[in-house]
Structure 1
Amino acid sequence: MRAVAYDTYGGNEVLAPTTRPRPKVGPGEILIRVRSAAVNPVDWKVMAGGLDGLMDVVFPVVPGWDVAGVVEQVGFDTPEFAPGDEVYSYARRDYVHGGTFAELVTVAARDAAPKPAGLSWDEAAGLPLAGLTAYQTLVRLGTGPEDTVLVHGAAGGVGTFAVQIAVALGARVIGTASPANHDRLRALGAEPVAYGDGLEGRVRDLAPAGVTVAADYVGGVLDTTLAVLREGGRHASIADDRVVGAGGRWMWARPDGAGLRALAALVDEGRLTVPVAAVFPLEQVADAFELSRAGHTHGKIVIRVSE
């Protein structure tokens, strides 16, 4: 099968088109023919060796953890799916090796879900990792209608989903972003505030009693979070492990088919949309990584593997 892979840690120079064997399909797994896969910053950070102390790596590595495609084969004891099913998944394994920037990828059935009917292949591929990160953060913090939620990095890849999900959960949402993104946040249901110096005061102007939930998707904002968090409030970060010592949660999304089904339900209800900023063919993964590194896109960067 066609794929893009790397044989050693490094930058874009280590990426190369390749041909890989057809993946084996174990018990409880499904083989997905990839239609689209999405780029996340973790993909090129892993390639640079950034998670070497955390996860085992088996070279050559096919990068990519997000996928949307069609079930081609199911393993033994996999009644949840059948060939021909349209699915999507956050396909991270416990080690780094066979990712989604390839024509075929195997995924544990428990980590997949039916593709939302209202999303294109590109949109569906862009939802799993970032969507689950936002969803799991807010759910674990017990977010509900009585909450005022502060979303740090509300216009970013994860923050955009967090705003929509928190609104769907019935919460009031205050989102930090540059002024250029404030109209986008208002359209999603958030009350925008500019980040940077004076953020605490701007949040207090909107929520004099403080916020009850704070979700940090950018890092470096712990002091502000603690300054505006109401007594008994809950907070978490995906970017700053210091939250643990301050009574918060440090989180990293887990593959979760049930969570993907919950996200699909929000899509079907018209409460969750997936912005796509750019689409690249499989042979241009390096260009997609370069765009991701620049950090200026408003929406997901997608690798279209097949039509």
Structure 2
Amino acid sequence: MRAIGFTDFGGPEVLTVLDVPEPRAEDGDVRIRVQAAAVNPSDLVTRSGGGRERWTDVRPPYIPGWEAAGVVEEVGPDSEFTVGDEVFAITLPVLDGGGAYQDSIVVPTASVVPRPAGVDVFAASTIAMNGMTALVALTLADLDDGDTLAVTGSAGALGGYVIQIAAHRGIRVIADAKESDEELVRGLGAAEVVRRGDDVAERFRELAPNGVDALMDGAVQGDLVVPALADGGRYLAVRWAGIGGETEESDRIVRHDVRVADHVRDAGGLRELASLVDEGVLTPRVADVLPAEQAEQAHRRLEAGGLRGRLVLDFR
């Protein structure tokens, strides 16, 4: 069976086409014929060796990919799914026998949800990981209707989902963006937009003089944006900005590490995301679709930055 992976950590050039055994669905599992797999920043971290200690008990080859969409091709006993169902799923590569960059994946039923009507397979492949990350972040933010959330990296896939869900919940969202992205970010639901830059915390403070209640740091700016937070405000860190649970950043604010890996079996969260897409609250955005064999190019493009939406690998 075809997979895209690597045997040694390194740059995009380590990605290659592999022949791996076809997985089988056990009790409580679903096997999905992957048609599309999204390319996420976490895939770059995996490939380059970030967090490699989590792969200690995993033998190469290593197969990246956290989210996919496709068709159910095998189910375990008593499954709620049937062969032929169109679905999307989230998978944790280090747990599930390899990630989404392969022709078929096997995941627990709790990691799978029907594909929303009217959403094509490429768009569906971009919902699960960034959507679950947004839900987890907003839970940690613990905001009420009318509270203020600042978002960095607002034009990206994760930032866009955070803005859309937060605005839907009645939270006041202020976001950073470059001039060419301002219309996009306002369209996602940001009440106010400030210009990106090293002084972004000051710009946020101009709109929230007492500081924002929480800050989702999708652009991983760290110390540059922390001053925007009110006393007791919640700083939400993603990706390599921090792994290790909740810690106090200082006496003034609280830091939360947003770990979507702890929520890959959250069927309720996935169903909520599917409903939000059905309702038009969430808008999956696909930057481009590339053949699976061009995963190296996809990684290079993601590393270069500037994408507005996710790159997707076509496994059909």
Shared fold, TM over 0.5:
yes
In the alignment, what sits opposite 1:19?
A: 19
**Contact 1:118–1:267 (Cα < 8 Å) also in 2:** no
SS of residue paired to 2:22 = coil
Code of the aligned partner of 1:241: G
Give distance in 2, aligned partners of 1:111 and 1:172: 31
| 1:150-165 equivalence runs, <5 A | 150-165=150-165
| 1:11-160 equivalence runs, <5 A | 11-56=11-56, 57-78=58-79, 80-95=80-95, 97-160=97-160
> Is 1:259–2:259 an aligned residue pair?
no
Post-superposition Cα deviations, 1:81-135, rounded to whole Å, max 9, x if no partner, equal 1111111111114447422122111111111111121311100101111111112
TM superposition shift of 1:219: 2.2
SS of residue paired to 1:244 = coil
| 1:284-295 equivalence runs, <5 A | 284-295=294-305
SS of residue paired to 1:145 = coil
Within the candidate set 223, 237, 256, 1:249 is matched to: 256
Give distance in 1, aligned partners of 2:305 and 2:200: 22
TM superposition shift of 1:143: 2.9
TM superposition shift of 1:10: 2.1
> Is 1:233–2:233 an aligned residue pair?
yes
Code of the aligned partner of 1:128: A
Post-superposition Cα deviations, 1:109-165, rounded to whole Å, max 9, x if no partner, equal 111111121311100101111111112101232233121111122112211111111
TM superposition shift of 1:223: 5.3
Give distance in 2, aligned partners of 1:113 and 1:289: 27
| TM, length-normalised to structure 1 | 0.92
Code of the aligned partner of 1:251: V
SS of residue paired to 1:53 = helix
In the alignment, what sits opposite 1:280?
A: 290
Give the % identical residues: 37
> Is 1:199–2:200 an aligned residue pair?
yes
SS of residue paired to 2:59 = strand
CA RMSD of superposed structures (Å): 1.9
Moved more, 110-119 or 232-241: 232-241
Aligned residues: 304
**Contact 2:32–2:106 (Cα < 8 Å) also in 1:** yes
Q: Which runs of 5+ in 2 are unaligned?
A: none
In the alignment, what sits opposite 1:301?
A: 311
Give distance in 1, aligned partners of 2:275 and 2:161: 14
| TM, length-normalised to structure 2 | 0.90
Give distance in 2, aligned partners of 1:200 and 1:20: 48
SS of residue paired to 1:54 = helix
TM superposition shift of 1:209: 3.1
Q: Which runs of 5+ in 1 are unaligned?
A: none
SS of residue paired to 1:278 = strand
Code of the aligned partner of 1:185: V
Cα gap change, 1:8 to 1:43, in 2 (>3 Å): same
